[in-house]
Structure 1
Amino acid sequence: MANLCSYGWNNQWQQLKNDLSYNELEHGRIISTHKTRYDVATTEGVLSCELTGNILYTKEPHEYPITGDWVVFQRFGELGIIIDILPRTNALSRKKSGTKASVQHFAANIHKAFIVQSCDANFNVRRTERFLIQIVDSGIIPILILTKADLGIDIDKLKQSLGKIGEKTEIFVTSIYDIESIDRLRKIINPAETFIFIGSSGVGKSSLINRLCDHQLLETSAISTSTGKGKHTSTRREIFLLESGGVLLDTPGVREFGLAVDSDDTIAETLDIDQLMGKCKFHDCTHTSEPDCAVLNAIASGDLDVGTYNSYLKLKREAMHFNETTYERRERERQFHRMVKEVIREKKSRDSSV
């Protein structure tokens, strides 16, 4: 018998289940997904589940269950059918790749997100900003993990390059060859607390997880000799239990991470530009060409890094594009539903007159 408390089940989740229409059914947590099939941790072990037709045919793909979700299901022999999803505390999302602006939720009910960056040429401040903004916007605690500290890189200089965002998160410097650095990281992982590792390929994420778990949990691979870039070793999002406590959610290496935020407020706050904005002469200042713009003045005086400013403009445009297209899509859906209701009303009116 498996103890679901190890996966994070508690009284709050039980209350949410009690409020569901199907609260008499079994519950479990999705530990991995395979398109429309799901591995669910239950009280009797891992059960392969599929979606009920009500979910499969009435919901959009972005509304389907994801890794980390708590679900209720009905068991049919060696197969389960997912009937409902418990309300999420949060979901980590990104803009789906491609030209169409749509959101992809890929992990749910997360306490902490470990942004993994390596202390080598792969280190990228702009990528860190992008991860950090999305994580904060999702209501998840961000923690920056710097790996491969044994390469002899100037760590203080690297931290300095982070600028203000280095003050927005705890930073852990690690090496798989330094057991003390791994122990320091292990101490911030609490029992039944779900934490996710996210980073690009080749940053040493899988090696760090294996060291953290004290055994070969994940496959690792060398840097590609043809491209000089890291190779994907994790192939899907999957949950593991740590022997010392904690629920680990691993993700494949991310090469593209489009923002999916509701507004640019989180962007400005994370990049520490929001306080400057309140000092501009015009309340609707775009911070691009207006006179007495506090943001532009800060750049001129050297108080604001021009790289951070350019990143803000880029991320702001990205967020605006995402939200405009999301609004347009929702408006089309509302118009369609109004049309359907009108057709139904007209049909009822014809039927009643016959």
Structure 2
Amino acid sequence: MSARAERESEELSAMAAAPVAPASAAAIASAPAPAPVRITLPDLDMKYNGRNGQKWVTLAQRTLKAAYLGKHLTEAPPMEDAYAMDIWDSEEALIMNWMIKNMEEEQKDDYLLVNIVRDLWKEINKSCAEVHKYFRVYDLREQERKLKQGSMSISSYSAKLKAIWRELDLLFPAGDRDHPSYIREVTYRTIQFLMGLNPEYEVLRSQLLHRERFPTLEEAISELQGAESRKTISTKGSGTTTSTTVVHLAKKEGQSNSNSSAAQTTAPQQPKASPKEGNTSDLICGYCRKPGHIKKECRKLAWKEEQVRKGTWNPGQHKKAYLASEGEETQPSGKKEEDADLQKILQMQSEVNKLL
């Protein structure tokens, strides 16, 4: 090692061995204090109303612990450190305002004048005393008994039941999972879930109840969700065909209606048939009283008017002349038949006379 390297090594060793002088109290006092961290607490999913104390307490405690403020619920403030005490007071005010904000209006007045979070927490926990706890258990059991699937899906129905059971577990924490009471409660919840299903799942429900090994709640939910999915796919398939057919028929009917409407709109209206063009069997002449024509078209009246204009009109003579001019066409059909019968009779009488 060279002389220069030895000298540098000695200097470094001397610097490391030299004691560091402590900072003076005045320097510490003059140092700027770090700014407190600003914290924002989210609103809870429910507001405290005096009857949901256990659930509200659980949600509030979980939120404060997530923000590293859970110590304010049970610990005393750090009285020996002024700076830490300032931060503590700031956090206390933040938590107090947050708690009051998450209460119903009728509950705020009871806790508005409390200034310490720990005291407020004790007051709220008193509302969750045994008498209130058993009342809440009764209320939850009543909700559990009345809850039916109805229009809900299997997932929504099971989620509502699980929410009730979670709150029951908060009021009465579960013990040993191998204990008979716990096993009995789990079995009861599976049966309660099956009881609330719609009648369309009766076959699958009966199969689950008659199994040699009784299924767990999650197993029952899983099988019913599978049956619900298969039913939904089947319903969508048939519904698509039906809806397509209905739409096709509706379009066809709409086109038919539009075509008929267009035809009625664009087609010219046919003029009403005159009595001469239409059926004349119901017409009766007002002059000669014969069917088949009207007075305006009566040939007898026209013949009479022609004779009157010529000045040769004679009612007695002209009637015979008119009938002769009309011939058999003007004679009634009954009269023609009578004349034919009379001719046959006269012919037969003639032949009899020849034989005699």
Q: Do both share a fold (TM > 0.5)?
A: no
**The structure with more radius of gyration:** 2
The TM-score normalised by the length of structure 1 is: 0.19
- The structure where strand makes up a greater share of residues is 1
The TM-score normalised by the length of structure 2 is: 0.19
- The structure where helix makes up a greater share of residues is 2
